[in-house]
Structures are given as structure tokens and as C-alpha cells.
């Protein structure tokens, strides 16, 4: 069951340690701080002796706290709606299904690199990633429709990001995108993380 709860009502416990070794906290925090039409990723919770404890997604909870987000979605294994903290509510199935059916999402893609990108590497980033989305053939975007809104190199160019219309309803472009990302990491600048998660080497 998917619920939405006040961030302040959830706490961590040694009973459920954070076992996530995939995400890099500061990279993930920056990625999730960028504007997005969806809520933060859901955490897992369990109700133990009246306390709502996070069982997975600990980093998402900490990020919600640091970004001062008042609420966060949470997955709970069984219907405990009558025992949840004040201010909690069940997320309607229809709302979740509608989100899954959205074909195009305006979103950020965020890369962190081992070393700062040189001016030449920044140009290659634009050529590789920005132009990929500008020229992406997909039935979900009309010819002439704006595809890329911005790009930049924060953290003294240790990060490269772009904001674009991402056709999430058409996954045919993903294998090529992964391939060019791997080639960029090998040949231009080693990618440490993508969307906060460790990039496969």
C-alpha cells in the first residue's frame, strides 16, 4: 500500500540499517533538489510499537528532511491506515496509475565526474548528451517541439546536467543512451554517478 506521511513522523532505527551502497548521498541530494513534477521517491516503512520506522530508502528520508519537504510517500506492507500518524493518507491507485501513464516528463539528467570537465570536455558533453535529446527520434515529441531547456556545469564543472523533455513512455532510446554514456565515461571523462547512483564501469 502506498501512503503519504509527514516527514517528521518517520524516524530511523538500528533495527533497520541503511544497506544502500548504490547511491552517493550528496550526488543524490543534488539530483533530487532539481525541479521535478513528481514527488521524491518513496521510502519503505514499518509500524513498530506505534513508531513509523524507515526500512529502506533511508537516503530519501534524510534528503527530504534536509530539503525541508513536509511530506514523503512510503510503501507499507499491509493496511495500517487506521494506525498511521496524524496527517497521513493513502495515495489513490488512480493517481499512481495516471503518473505511470505520463508519456513525456520534463526532468533533469545529472552526471557527476571524477574530475572537473575541461572546456573541451564540456563541449563534448553538449555534443553527446544535449544533442542526443535535441535530435532524438520519438513519436512522443512533435517536430519542432522544444526538447532541451537548459544545461550547465555546477560544482566547478565536476557535474554536468541538462533539463529536457524525456520521453519516458518510449524506452527504445535507452540502449543507445547507455552506450554513449559509457563511451563518454571511457573516452572523455570518467562518470562517477548518474541521477545520484554509481555509474557502472
Which is nearest to 58 in space by CA: 11, 126, 117? 11
Give 134's pLDDT tier (boundaries 50, 70, 90). Answer: very high
Q: Domain spans of the chain?
A: 2-7+20-100, 105-198
Sequence-ordered list of residues with C-beta below 8 angstroms from that of 197, at least 6 positions apart, any chain: 22, 23, 24, 28
Mean pLDDT of the chain: 95
C-alpha cell read off for 176: 543507445
pLDDT value at position 86?
A: 83
> Domain 2-7+20-100, CATH 1.10.3710 — does that match?
no
Residue corresponding to grid cell 533533469: 108
Model pLDDT for residues 64-116, shown as the tens digit of each residue: 999 999 999 999 876 566 677 788 999 999 999 999 999 999 999 999 999 99
Model pLDDT for residues 113-124, shown as the tens digit of each residue: 999 999 999 999
User: Residues 155-168: what's their mean pLDDT?
Assistant: 98
Residue corresponding to grid cell 503518473: 99
Question: What size, in residues, is the chain?
Answer: 201
pLDDT value at position 80?
A: 66
Give 161's pLDDT tier (boundaries 50, 70, 90). Answer: very high
pLDDT value at position 82?
A: 66
pLDDT value at position 58?
A: 98
Q: Are strands 51-56 and 10-11 parallel, antiparallel or unpaired?
A: parallel
Provide CATH code, domain 105-198: 3.30.70
Taking the CB of residue 20, how many other CB atoms lie within 10 A of it? 14
pLDDT value at position 50?
A: 83
Gap between the Cα atoms of 11 and 53, Å rounded: 5
Amino acid at each position: 500500500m502506498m501512503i503519504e506521511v509527514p516527514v517528521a513522523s518517520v524516524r530511523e532505527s538500528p533495527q533497520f540499517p541503511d544497506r544502500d551502497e548504490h547511491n552517493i548521498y550528496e550526488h543524490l541530494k543534488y539530483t533530487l533538489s532539481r525541479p521535478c513534477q513528481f514527488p521524491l521517491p518513496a521510502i519503505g516503512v514499518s509500524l513498530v510499537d506505534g513508531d513509523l520506522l524507515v526500512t529502506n530508502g533511508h537516503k530519501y528520508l534524510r534528503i527530504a528532511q534536509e530539503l525541508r519537504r513536509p511530506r514523503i510517500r512510503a510503501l507499507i506492507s499491509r493496511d495500517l491506515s487506521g494506525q498511521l500518524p496524524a496527517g497521513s493518507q493513502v495515495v489513490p491507485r488512480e493517481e499512481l496509475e495516471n503518473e505511470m501513464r505520463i508519456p513525456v516528463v520534463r526532468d533533469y539528467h545529472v552526471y557527476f565526474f571524477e574530475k572537473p570537465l575541461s572546456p573541451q570536455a564540456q563541449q563534448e558533453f553538449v555534443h553527446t548528451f544535449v544533442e542526443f535529446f535535441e535530435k532524438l527520434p520519438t513519436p512522443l515529441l512533435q517536430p519542432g517541439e522544444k526538447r532541451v531547456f537548459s544545461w550547465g556545469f555546477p560544482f566547478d564543472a565536476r557535474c554536468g546536467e541538462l533539463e529536457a523533455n524525456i520521453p519516458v513512455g518510449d524506452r527504445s532510446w535507452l540502449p543507445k543512451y547507455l552506450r554513449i554514456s559509457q563511451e563518454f565515461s571511457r573516452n572523455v571523462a570518467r562518470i562517477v554517478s548518474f541521477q545520484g547512483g554509481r555509474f557502472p564501469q
